Structure 1
Amino acid sequence: MDMNYDTWIYHGERIHQVQGQTSGFTNDEQTSSPNGNMVNMIEDAFQILDDNDNDQDTLWSVLSYIVELIHNKVTNYMTDRVVDKMLVMMKKMCPQPNHVPKSFYECKKILRCLGLGYENIHACYYDCALFYKEHEKKDRCLVCNEPRYKASVCEQRKKVLRKVLQYFPLKPRLQRLFMSRHMSKDMRWHKDKRVNDVNTMRHPADSIAWKKFDKIYPDFARDPRNVRLGLATDGFNPFSDMSKPYSMWLVVLFPYNLPPWKCMKKPFSFLTLLIPGPNAPGNEIDIYLRPLINELKELWESGVQTYDKMDVCTFNVHAAVIWTINDFPAYGNLSGWSTHSKLACPIRHNLDVMHIEKNIFDILIETLLNTEKSKDTLKARMDLKDMNIRESLQLELNENNKLDKPPAQYVFNPSERKDFLQWLQSIKFPDGYASSISQNVRVNEGKVMGLKSHDCHVLMQRVLPVGIRKHLKRQIYVPIVELSNFFQQICAKTVTVADLDKLEEDTVLILCKLEKIFPPAFFVPMVHLTVHLLREAKLAGPVGCR
């Protein structure tokens, strides 16, 4: 990527021809201006598709057309061949001369010139190692001796790789943040515009961890343009058919220099790694992190020369990952810390609050509705007898020599369950507030299925307290409402230290109240993790930025 590329049309800047003398980058900050090389590099991307179209409202640049085309390719599952045929047809349809790319390969070449490409790094099929740098030319894995390529009967056929890691370099994207004067200004927001209130946290810069990092590394903190990053990783199924088992993992970085209303938005979420399936990498995820770790080391130690459009100069930008964000299972894989024993509590990592909230909501709603996933099972009732507690809920042997399960006050009876589900199915949400939850409600089956994390977030905080009020006794209803309020307060955009201290005390009391109601089987590790969320909020700031 050319360091002098500084015009970014999506931030309101117009494309203009600039002339000037070229100047090499140095380690010191120096005044510089864009030159003709920048124009040569981006003119293919920003030129108008049709030179004969004089209507300014309908002008499409080559770059905007390519971006829209690739977006449609992904969302509609189009093959490369289909895109090639579409481009040939478009080139014929548009008046001549035009600048429609000839093929999908040419589209990718244009994006790669702007630093929007990626690197294919070959990997061992069993996640043992990467064929990378010193092992780049090897044909077999050094650990398990597995072949790099698929076996082929025809030797003349092109070799087919068994597994490929896609790596998206970080440096070009950090450089582009400073090539727009508006973005460059926002990258200083945490220092220049943030309200420094000791008792209130609105941004990660208000957190204890950020301030301690600044004290330990004052040289890094001296320049507000140095980038602080958060790293998140999780798995997903890329296929529309969820019954097909496939787990692809991604690693995403977030620049925390930006204001809180920008730093977690999609345009500033930097996808850096796409780890192929079909199985999750598990504890071998560190093998795939190697290219990213190498680049982060370079950014920490030597940085990268970057042109700052706001100050009209070049400077050496450094970057550091200040924390990670994961759900509980991924936290165990990424940190190497066991999450299945008595020492499973998190260390130096941020847990995904919405993942914990979803799990707690699922446990709660399944138990209230008494579905097959309920925690109020026969074994849970046997635990009560073994622990000699709650005699009224212990299993009883009837006259037919079978065990009877006494009804619990925290479980809906059939009529209450039907009434609750019908009410839940009738709720209408504002457009964009939540998905169509009514489609996930099965009144006849007596359960709620297929809820996404955001749906559980809305139901837990806004809907559940209202829906259960008329069906449960006060001593059962109140602790559930208090748990709902807990998630409302911790997910607020602005939190105060005093409120977090008070909430930390209340959380213990809420869990104690719930322990008096639900059986011990209800309290899985996810329920216990609520205790740690308050400490993480103090250390890392508002949940919305994590």
Structure 2
Amino acid sequence: MDRSWMYGKRDFVYLERLEEFLSCAVEHQRLHGDNQFVCPCTLCQNRKKVNSRDELREHLILKGFKADYNVWIWHGESDNDICTNVNFGINDKDGDQIDVGVENDDEIFENIDMDDNIEPDNDNIDGLMKDLEEDIVECPIIFQRMVDNSKKPLYPNGSKFSLLLAVLKLFTLKAGNGWSDKSFTSLLELLCQMLPEGNELPSTTYQCKKLLCPLSTSYQKIHACVKDCILYRKKYSELQECPKCGESRYKRVDNGNGGKKKGSPVKTLWYFPIIPKFKRYFANKKDVEYMLWHQKGRNKDGKLRHVADSPQWRTIDRTFPEFGSEPRNLRLGLCTDGINPFRTLSTQHSCWPVMLIIYNIPPWLTTKSKYIMLTLLISGPKQPGNDIDVYLAPLIEDLKMLWNVGVEVFDANTSSRFQMHAMLYCTINDFPAYGNLSGYRLKTDKGCPVCGDEIESDWLEHSGKFSYRGGRRFLLENHQYRKKKKKAFYGKTEHRKPPVFLSGEEYYDKVKNITTVFGKPYVPPPDGVYHTKRSIFWELPYWQHLYVRHCIDVMHVEKNVFDSVIGTLLNMPNKTKDGVKVRNDMAARERINLKPIEKGKRIYIPPSCTTLSKKEKMIVCESLKGVKVPHGYSSNISRLVSIKDCKLVGM
């Protein structure tokens, strides 16, 4: 089809053909239920939307079409030109489903390991094409186009790279080094001139992205209530206001005539479906071998070396033998925490990524970026807090489907298909996120969800927090500390057994009848009630059978404890836990000898059993020199011991 009119003189012919384009765009908008138009002008470049046909016409008359937009993949095409069964970035009929299409560079390369140094003769193009065939089986035109590109040499007579592989490797460099589209286009133009005549390398970033478009994964943009009451999906998908709080779904902006018009959604959840990513893992032979490592590769000597050595793993195999008999079934861990996306702690903005990790693979690969899947991105001015269950709903639905029904997956290692199932093994987070996910109030006198009612606590008036005691209950029955009753142990001996561990069924009985109301502002339950909700994880059929459902991350268990211990021993400013408030609380509990003494404008803190002399501090610093710490912790160790006393010993 001739599209030369798009880049010629903007005359009567241009205006006449422009109306044909606008009609095509309107029809495409009607079919997909979108309320806006993607604008292909030289300024917007299919990355922005306009609100009306008239506004789209105005952009194209004043600025013209972007270069090389010869196939109208963003505005609908006839079946003779391109298959319309595939979404290339246009919303679906609910206005939620969006394909990453040509926008996201990194998603295209999730199967390509930067460290693998894939040779042209040993690439993974066959695996990619096998996976792609499943993804776009309803669109043979696009699949055939990808097959042709995977076999077409980059240039005639001696090229070792196919066109598809060359573009993939170039885009891998672009994504890994953060190149801009402009700089990448300049590189492509230079390479086209350097390669032999007749080469097939695209000369623009847009053409490369269009070539790689079917390899990308999709995501969903789901509108959310600004107060975290609901997601506008399913029965709420057509609503314009929240049925619980009455807040508008969209921002209201000035239309220029003194009135208001509908703008962008006030809050959006980004959901990245997990099933397509699982399929891509099993389409790679190397990844399939990793998925079987827990059965074939690990050392089974009775020691706890891997998650598969834990009692919970064996309990799942016994309780659900059909699931445990297939080693390719996945066991997943869920991680979430709040981050600041703008690199400054003063910015009042919250962003909560929710990620999944795979426990089937070797432990040294579990936290590699290739095997960490971003599933949810909760972005907004305030953190979700107790309402995080509202945003987890799409992920939980997929996890329930993967457990109950499973999904048919192609195994590249055996060249066969099998029904893959998956389960959520546990969550990993810090303690505040623990409370949000489990639905338990942590900042109370009963702050431990495991100990529950049997925990002992004491309110510290000066420090303004709870102190939890009774740790001697976890010692052996004949331990010497159990019999001591000095002031350090509140003058009591300890003969009680540890708190009774509640099974999943017993714990569920305590929360199953809780009626949860989501939304801001958060209304805490009355005093004496510690469970704030029935967590959405209880909807998973196997959640009651897990020993440990929520885990605390290593950084807070090890690093923060180390910071506190070393900071207190070396009396580091802003790091020590032995301050004036702590001493006043200790003096109020019969430790009068430790009470701070005011001497004019200064306060003298008497030495305690943790107070070290200068010589003893030097010994501690010397001992830390040879400590081997995990990767990423060395800088923290150096920061902790690089104080005045440690400099004397050459640190």
* Cα deviation 1:241-267 (Å, max 9, x = unaligned): 333243311111111121223233221
- Cα shift at 1:403: 6.2
Determine the C-alpha separation between the residues in 2 that align with 1:134 and 1:55.
54
* Cα deviation 1:105-129 (Å, max 9, x = unaligned): x666666522533222222222222
AA of the residue aligned to 1:93: L
Match of 1:367 among 568, 573, 576: 568
1:100 aligns with 2:202: yes
Determine the C-alpha separation between the residues in 2 that align with 1:72 and 1:8.
17
Going from structure 1 to structure 2, the CA distance change for 1:91 and 1:295 (only over 3 Å counts) comes to same
1:14 aligns with 2:123: yes
Determine the C-alpha separation between the residues in 1 that align with 2:402 and 2:634.
40
1:106-121 equivalences in 2 (<5 Å): 113-121=214-222
Determine the C-alpha separation between the residues in 1 that align with 2:151 and 2:174.
15
- Cα shift at 1:307: 0.8
Determine the C-alpha separation between the residues in 2 that align with 1:333 and 1:405.
38
Aligned to 1:311: 414
Report which of the two structures shows the higher radius of gyration computed on alpha carbons: 2
Going from structure 1 to structure 2, the CA distance change for 1:421 and 1:441 (only over 3 Å counts) comes to farther
Question: Tell me, what secondary structure is at the counterpart of 1:61?
Answer: helix
Aligned to 2:166: 61
Going from structure 1 to structure 2, the CA distance change for 1:183 and 1:324 (only over 3 Å counts) comes to same
Question: Tell me, what secondary structure is at the counterpart of 2:218?
Answer: coil
Match of 2:237 among 121, 136, 150: 136
Asked whether the equivalents of residues 325 and 350 of structure 1 are also in contact (C-alpha less than 8 Å), the reply is: yes
Asked whether the equivalents of residues 229 and 322 of structure 1 are also in contact (C-alpha less than 8 Å), the reply is: yes
Determine the C-alpha separation between the residues in 1 that align with 2:218 and 2:553.
29
1:214-363 equivalences in 2 (<5 Å): 214-347=317-450, 348-363=549-564
Identical positions, percent? 34
Asked whether the equivalents of residues 281 and 287 of structure 2 are also in contact (C-alpha less than 8 Å), the reply is: yes
Determine the C-alpha separation between the residues in 2 that align with 1:403 and 1:8.
61
Determine the C-alpha separation between the residues in 2 that align with 1:213 and 1:357.
28
AA of the residue aligned to 1:14: D
AA of the residue aligned to 2:183: M
Determine the C-alpha separation between the residues in 1 that align with 2:325 and 2:637.
52
Question: Tell me, what secondary structure is at the counterpart of 1:276?
Answer: strand
- Cα shift at 1:440: 4.5
Question: Tell me, what secondary structure is at the counterpart of 1:202?
Answer: coil
Deviates more, 1:226-235 or 1:127-136: 127-136
Determine the C-alpha separation between the residues in 1 that align with 2:124 and 2:130.
19
Match of 1:164 among 232, 255, 268: 268
Going from structure 1 to structure 2, the CA distance change for 1:86 and 1:425 (only over 3 Å counts) comes to farther
- Cα shift at 1:342: 3.6
Question: Tell me, what secondary structure is at the counterpart of 1:262?
Answer: helix
AA of the residue aligned to 1:69: K
Going from structure 1 to structure 2, the CA distance change for 1:47 and 1:439 (only over 3 Å counts) comes to farther
Determine the C-alpha separation between the residues in 2 that align with 1:341 and 1:111.
53
Determine the C-alpha separation between the residues in 2 that align with 1:21 and 1:307.
9
Determine the C-alpha separation between the residues in 1 that align with 2:324 and 2:203.
45
Determine the C-alpha separation between the residues in 2 that align with 1:337 and 1:397.
41
1:373-388 equivalences in 2 (<5 Å): 374-388=576-590
Going from structure 1 to structure 2, the CA distance change for 1:17 and 1:375 (only over 3 Å counts) comes to closer
- Cα shift at 1:436: 4.7
* Cα deviation 1:119-142 (Å, max 9, x = unaligned): 222222222221223322322222
1:512-523 equivalences in 2 (<5 Å): none
AA of the residue aligned to 1:100: P
Going from structure 1 to structure 2, the CA distance change for 1:21 and 1:143 (only over 3 Å counts) comes to closer
AA of the residue aligned to 1:191: Q
Question: Tell me, what secondary structure is at the counterpart of 1:200?
Answer: coil
Determine the C-alpha separation between the residues in 2 that align with 1:364 and 1:268.
34
Deviates more, 1:342-351 or 1:276-285: 342-351
* Cα deviation 1:134-167 (Å, max 9, x = unaligned): 3223222222222222221127988323222211
- Cα shift at 1:326: 1.1
Match of 2:251 among 140, 150, 161: 150
Question: Tell me, what secondary structure is at the counterpart of 1:160?
Answer: strand
Determine the C-alpha separation between the residues in 1 that align with 2:288 and 2:347.
44
Determine the C-alpha separation between the residues in 2 that align with 1:410 and 1:381.
13
1:86 aligns with 2:183: yes
Aligned to 2:606: 406
Determine the C-alpha separation between the residues in 1 that align with 2:268 and 2:334.
22
* Cα deviation 1:30-78 (Å, max 9, x = unaligned): xxxxx998664466589777779947699962223233323444xxxx8
Going from structure 1 to structure 2, the CA distance change for 1:297 and 1:43 (only over 3 Å counts) comes to farther
Match of 2:282 among 153, 172, 178: 178
Determine the C-alpha separation between the residues in 1 that align with 2:631 and 2:603.
48
Determine the C-alpha separation between the residues in 2 that align with 1:342 and 1:371.
29
Equivalent residues, number: 422
Determine the C-alpha separation between the residues in 2 that align with 1:127 and 1:319.
28
Going from structure 1 to structure 2, the CA distance change for 1:48 and 1:395 (only over 3 Å counts) comes to farther
Going from structure 1 to structure 2, the CA distance change for 1:429 and 1:342 (only over 3 Å counts) comes to closer
Aligned to 2:291: 187
Asked whether the equivalents of residues 121 and 165 of structure 1 are also in contact (C-alpha less than 8 Å), the reply is: yes
* Cα deviation 1:360-417 (Å, max 9, x = unaligned): 223224333252453222232222222113x43233466x698643234534578987
Determine the C-alpha separation between the residues in 1 that align with 2:306 and 2:434.
23
Structure with more relative contact order (C-alpha pairs < 8 Å, separation 6 or more)? 1
Structure 1's unaligned 5+ residue stretches are: 2-6, 26-34, 448-466, 471-546
AA of the residue aligned to 1:68: L
Superposition CA RMSD, Å: 4.5
- Cα shift at 1:8: 6.5
Question: Tell me, what secondary structure is at the counterpart of 2:313?
Answer: helix
Going from structure 1 to structure 2, the CA distance change for 1:252 and 1:47 (only over 3 Å counts) comes to farther
Q: TM-score, normalised by structure 2?
A: 0.55
AA of the residue aligned to 1:363: S
Question: Tell me, what secondary structure is at the counterpart of 2:364?
Answer: coil
AA of the residue aligned to 1:66: F
AA of the residue aligned to 2:171: I
1:455-470 equivalences in 2 (<5 Å): none
